[in-house]
Amino acid sequence: MKISDVSMWRTARTIFSAMKQHLSVVLLVTALMPMAHAATAAKRAILVGGGADADFIMLRDASARGDMGDTGRLSARLADYPIQSYVDYYRLYPRLVSTPEGEIRSYLNRYDGTAIADRLRNDWLLILGRARDWRLFDEQYPLFVLNDDLQVKCYALSSRVAKGENVVKAARELLVQPKNYGEACVDLIHRLYQNRQFGEDDVWRQIRLAAEYGATGAAKRIAYFIDVSERQLMPAIERSSAFVERGAAGSQAVRELFVIALGRVAKDNQDKAERALHKSLFRLNHEEQAQAWAQIALHASMGLSKEAANLWRKTWDATLSPDGHQWRVRAALRDGDWPMVARAIDSMPRELQKEPTWVYWRGRAYLAQHHTDDAQKLFQTISSQPTFYGILAAEELGQKLVVPPRPSAPTAEELSEAVSNPGFRNSLKLLDLDLRFEGNREWNWQLRKLNDRQLLAAGEFARQSGVLDRMVTTADRAKVELDFTQRFPTPHDDIMQTAIQPLSLDKAWVYGLIRQESRFVKAARSNVGASGLMQIMPATANYVARKIGMSGFSLSNLNDTRTNITLGTHYLNMVLGNLGGSQTLATAAYNAGPSRPRLWRATLEKPIEGAIFAETIPFSETRGYVKNVLANATCYSALFENKGPSLKSRLGIISPRDAMLNEIGDLP
Show me where the domains of the chain are located.
1-148, 326-396, 412-482, 493-654
The residue type at 59: L
- Mean residue pLDDT of the chain comes to 92
Least confident interval from 36-45, 250-259, 467-476, 609-618: 36-45
Query: What CATH number matches the domain at 412-482, 1.10.1240, 1.20.1250, 1.10.10, 3.30.10?
Result: 1.10.1240
pLDDT band at 644, cuts 50/70/90? low
pLDDT digits (tens, 9 = 90+) for 511-538: 999 999 999 999 888 888 899 999 999 9
Q: Is the pLDDT of residue 424 over 60?
A: yes
Arithmetic mean of pLDDT, 340-363: 98
pLDDT digits (tens, 9 = 90+) for 362-408: 999 999 999 999 999 999 999 998 999 999 999 999 998 989 999 99
pLDDT digits (tens, 9 = 90+) for 598-614: 999 999 999 999 999 99
CATH of domain 326-396: 1.25.40
The residue type at 611: A
Q: Same topology for domains 412-482 and 493-654, yes or no?
A: no
pLDDT digits (tens, 9 = 90+) for 8-18: 333 333 334 44
Q: CATH top-level class for 493-654?
A: mainly alpha
Instruction: Output DSSP code: residue 604.
Output: -
Q: Is the pLDDT of residue 468 over 90?
A: yes
Arithmetic mean of pLDDT, 255-263: 97
Report the SS3 class of residue 525: strand
Report angle CA 153, 154, 157 to the nearest 5 degrees. Answer: 90
Arithmetic mean of pLDDT, 156-167: 98
Beta bridge partners of 608: 654
Q: Is the pLDDT of residue 1 over 70?
A: no
* CA-to-CA dists, residue 123 to 55, 147, 155, 179, 308, angstroms: 24, 12, 13, 19, 44
Chain CA centroid to CA 152, Å: 19
Write 221-226 long-range contacts (CB < 8 A, 24+): 221/186, 222/186, 222/189, 222/190, 225/189, 225/190, 225/193, 226/193, 226/200, 226/253
The residue type at 246: R
Arithmetic mean of pLDDT, 165-191: 97
By C-alpha distance, which of 528, 532, 552, 533 is closest to 542?
A: 552
